[in-house]
Amino acid sequence: MGPSVSEFINESSGKLRVERFFELISGLRNFNNTDQKVIIKELELVMKAMDKNELEGALTVGVFELMIFEEMSKKEGKSERLLIDLCECYYLLSDDNINEKMAPSITSCLLKVASNEERSINIQKEVEMALLALSEGSRGTLVKGSQPLEEMIDIIYHHNDHRNLTQLAFQSAWRFMINNWHRNSNSQIVVVASMIFLTVVKRELKELIKCVDWKREDEGREKIRSEPKATQMIIRWLDVLGNFFIMCDKWDDDFNEVVRFVVELFRTARDNEQEISEMCTHALKMLARSKNSSVDIFEKCGVSEMISQEINCRDSNDKITENCTVILLLISAKSKDKADNDTKVEKSEDGSKEDN
């Protein structure tokens, strides 16, 4: 009796395992459900036998790109579920290397899934995965036209009315919006979305920080573990807020209030939640990088005071110190530009007086 499938796979070379992986995954769509189950079982055995390098070499963007293109090109017999799975894998694995020609079709496919308003657990999981994929894909490609943004804002509005999205799905929807809206900055949909975003992000962060233990560990008292999901969601929202800061061009009391909120969140997190502290300074660094932000914002909202304190008391190799140093340099540059502009205005006014 010859070796079993699993024995053969385990004894094969890495090159043969990768080749077999390609054969199986490429031929999967050509079989019926019964045969597909057999192929999937063999795929599982192949992947289990692969080491990390073999697996990374097999799961390339190019493989999914080819499969998606072939699936979309079919006029008949198209497996919609397979196409959706491929599109999600492509966006989640792509990491900024997205084929721009394919992106509109992939985005349209995933938005269709994300727009499902049913409330069942299975549908909710499908919607969450589609929105997560769209948010990840939005790091590497920008949508063209306002239609995708209009569809996404409809999803957001429906959630505000019916609470049908998970926390991750809702955050992913906003991440997609903000990563894309600077291309459509003059459209009405972006103007409206930018007006409600600050309220949304502050509301979501306030709810999430209730799930985090912010106190230092006291002697004789075991530290209460923070909810990991809440911590990660706070970090994701701060990442989105940083993208909003760098693109925003309208400053008002609501905006200043959110900046103050980030400063306060940093001070709350600095002794106990390193990742959150780092993301707070990252968001403020994005604000400092914005061409539209003025020196006054940093003074009014306590950013200047915060970074001065941190630079003086932290390790010079610390990531937070690095961010604070960048913020300080950017604020200094803005101060210099403001002083130069004020000097030009004064000289211009003095010249006008002399002419008179």
Per-residue pLDDT of the chain (356 residues; tens, 9 = 90+): 455 556 545 666 667 777 888 777 767 666 777 787 788 788 888 888 888 887 777 777 777 787 787 777 775 545 788 788 889 988 988 766 788 888 999 999 999 999 999 989 999 999 999 999 999 999 888 788 888 999 999 999 999 899 999 999 999 999 999 998 876 666 777 777 888 999 999 999 999 999 888 775 554 444 445 567 999 999 999 999 999 998 887 777 888 999 999 999 999 998 889 999 999 999 999 999 998 888 999 999 999 999 999 988 876 668 899 999 999 999 999 998 888 776 766 666 556 555 65
Collect all residues with Cβ–Cβ distance below 8 Å to 62 and sequence separation of at least 6: none
The one-letter code for the residue type at 217 is E
Contact call for residues 130 and 100 (beta carbons, < 8 A): no
Integer Rg of the chain from CA? 26
pLDDT of residue 130: 96
Burial 141-158 (b: 16+ CB within 10 A, else e): bbbeebebbebbbebbee
- Would you state the structure tokens that stand for residue 235, as one six-digit string? 């970090």
* φ/ψ (deg, to 5) at 75: -95, -25
Q: Give the span between the Cα atoms of 301 and 34, in whole angstroms.
A: 62
Q: Which two tokens stand for residue 30?
A: 């050509």
Global pTM exceeds 0.85: no
Q: Residue 223 carries which DSSP code?
A: P
DSSP letters spanning 76-88: SS--HHHHHHHHH
CB atoms within 10 A of CB 224: 10
At 317, is the secondary structure helix, strand, or coil? Answer: coil
State how far the alpha carbon of 73 is from the alpha carbons of 28, 78, 79, 130, 262, in Å.
Answer: 16, 9, 12, 21, 47
Region of 77 (left: φ > 0; alpha: ψ -120 to 50; beta: rest) is left
Other Cβ atoms closer than 10 A to 249: 11
Cα 58 from Cα 196, distance rounded (Å) = 43
Distance from C-alpha of 289 to C-alpha of 291, rounded to nearest angstrom: 6
Tokens describing residue 14 = 């890495």
Name the packing angle between helices 319-355 and 303-313 (round to 10°): 130
Q: At what angle do helices 303-313 and 274-289 cross, to 10 degrees?
A: 130
Q: What CA–CA distance (Å, rounded) separates 116 from 281?
A: 37
Alpha-carbon distance of 25 to 40, in angstroms, equals 8
CA–CA gap between residue 62 and residue 39 (Å, rounded): 21
